[in-house]
């Protein structure tokens, strides 16, 4: 029986991957402490305490299937909640994004899911593949979760979309702060992520189709895309490198408030996005080594990338690269550049 396995061992993710039909229809049950568990579909599970303390927390992982460390962190948290190892004080929704991509150890099967939110899944060709269908399902799950919280008087929303990067980074753990449409950046959020071991932040300069921007823009959630290190296969992560984020997320779920360090601008690296460089032609290429880490900077006028008829050059002193990937689909982002700034 799946419920017995869930209660005894907490193997929600394993069952979602191995026997997804078990969750073809929603399942709801109560834990011994009165917490209501709602399984919406494979990889989508929420916990509502009998007396929630006011926060609606969304933790997503596996939007890219080969980014395994965040998946393992969230799987451990779900197991702990299901088996009674600890209890939730706040409502929390866990989303394990791209289950088929996890099974083949790839970033995605047909299409990059983290370019399919804010309705992008249904534009262009529409819901023509599993990633597009799943992106819509994840959006719907977030929308329903936050709306249900509103009905019972919850007063705070956050969403941390957890990833690892394709390549190494000079700053191992960093977070992308979605565009705020004129709203202020929150130092308290930087403090929270610093407690997670994240010391580098990118301030977005426009709307995107990422999952974190969806929650931020549509629901006013404090939301971030959080990069926790470099991609590794399941079972090959040094989980000691993720102890801070695991303990801080556990505190977020299980405590009324998280004790945070004071805001110290000297301990943080803050960048603003300067250029978004898209691949528009087949011959697009990057003009630096394949193993150049994120946040490598180049001199003024250095040609970072080129394709037929155009060169993309360094525009400002200290401008550095983030998320370079020349193999993206035509029309998608192949490179961000960032320059130092402050809040």
Q: Which of the residues are catalytic?
A: 227
Angular region, 228: left φ>0, alpha ψ -120 to 50, beta rest: alpha
The closest alpha carbon to 10, from 90, 86, 99, belongs to 86
d(CA 260, CA 263): 9
d(CA 263, CA 60): 26
336 vs 49: CA distance, rounded Å: 41
Q: How far lies 80's CA from each of 7, 10, 240, 252, in Å?
A: 10, 7, 18, 14
Apex 118 CA angle, 14 and 286, nearest 5: 85
Secondary structure (H, E, C), 97-126 = CCHHHHHHCCCCCCCCHHHCCCCHHHCCCC
């Amino acid at each position: 029986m799946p419920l017995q396995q869930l209660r005894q061992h907490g193997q929600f993710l394993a069952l979602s991957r191995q026997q997804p039909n078990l969750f073809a229809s929603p399942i709801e049950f109560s834990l011994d402490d009165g917490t209501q568990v709602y399984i919406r579909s494979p990889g989508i599970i929420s916990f509502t305490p009998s007396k929630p303390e006011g926060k609606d927390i969304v933790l997503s992982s596996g939007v890219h299937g080969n980014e395994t460390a965040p998946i393992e962190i969230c799987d451990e948290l779900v197991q702990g909640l299901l088996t009674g190892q600890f209890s939730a004080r706040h409502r929390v929704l866990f989303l394990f994004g791209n289950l088929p991509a996890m099974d083949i150890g790839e970033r995605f099967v047909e299409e990059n899911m983290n370019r399919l939110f804010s309705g992008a899944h249904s534009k262009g060709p529409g819901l023509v593949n599993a990633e597009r269908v799943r992106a819509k399902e994840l959006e719907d799950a977030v929308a329903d979760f936050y709306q249900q919280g509103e009905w019972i008087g919850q007063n705070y929303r956050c969403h941390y979309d957890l990833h690892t990067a394709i390549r190494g980074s000079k700053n191992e753990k960093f977070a992308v702060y979605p565009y705020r449409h004129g709203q202020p950046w929150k130092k308290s959020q930087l403090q929270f992520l610093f407690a997670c071991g994240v010391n580098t932040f990118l301030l977005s300069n426009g709307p995107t189709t990422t999952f974190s921007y969806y929650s931020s823009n549509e629901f006013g959630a404090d939301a971030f895309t959080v990069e926790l290190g470099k991609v590794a296969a399941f079972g090959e992560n040094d989980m000691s490198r993720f102890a801070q984020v695991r303990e801080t997320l556990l505190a977020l779920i299980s405590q009324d408030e998280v004790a945070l360090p004071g805001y110290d601008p000297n301990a943080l690296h803050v960048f603003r996005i300067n250029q978004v460089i898209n691949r528009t032609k087949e011959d697009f290429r990057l003009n630096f080594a394949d193993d150049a880490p994120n946040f490598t900077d180049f001199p003024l006028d250095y040609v970072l990338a080129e394709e037929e008829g155009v060169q993309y050059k360094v525009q400002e002193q200290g401008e550095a690269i983030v998320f370079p990937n020349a193999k993206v689909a035509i029309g998608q982002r192949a490179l961000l550049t960032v320059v130092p700034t402050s809040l």
